[in-house]
Amino acid sequence: MSALTLTAPPITGLQASVTAPASAAELLKRGQIRETAEKFEASFLSVMMQSMFAGVKTSEPFGGGQAEDMFKSLLTESMAKEVSKAGGVGLADTIQREMLKLQGLKD
């Protein structure tokens, strides 16, 4: 028996498909899109929470009056921002995906 050697001609004309790392501008744009999506979700949640608290009345000794009405909107806005930061209700992810698509960027 003789020893067999495998030889193959070099492969030419083929390039490895390597995806280029995202540029700094693209990363910045992605960050801005995510931030905008989270702000939109927080704004949406704030409106929803304001309508949820619209019918809630508090007892007179510790609540009520014009000051409570004024600060209730600030409270709902703050709660909505925290809910959005903690993961939200999934609205920011959907908005981000659509905004990336509109910008021609892959998810």
Say if 31 falls within a structural domain.
yes
Q: In the chain, how many domains are there?
A: 1
Say if 96 falls within a structural domain.
yes
* CB proximity list for 75: less than 8 A, separation 6 or greater: none
Say if 18 falls within a structural domain.
no
pLDDT surpasses 50 at 18:
no
Say if 93 falls within a structural domain.
yes
Say if 63 falls within a structural domain.
no
pLDDT surpasses 50 at 17:
no
pTM higher than the cut 0.85: no
Predicted confidence at residue 33, as pLDDT, reads 92
| Secondary structure in 3-state letters for the chain | CCCCCCCCCCCCCCCCCCCCCCCHHHHHHHHHHHHHHHHHHHHHHHHHHHHHHCCCCCCHHHCCHHHHHHHHHHHHHHHHHHHHHCCCCCHHHHHHHHHHHHHCCCC
Query: What range defines the domain where residue 49 resides?
Result: 24-54+71-103
pLDDT surpasses 90 at 44:
yes
For residue 22 the two structure tokens come to 């995202």
Say if 95 falls within a structural domain.
yes
| Residue pLDDT, tens place only, 48-82 | 998 888 877 777 776 777 777 778 888 899 999 99
Say if 1 falls within a structural domain.
no
Say if 66 falls within a structural domain.
no
Chain mean pLDDT for the chain: 80
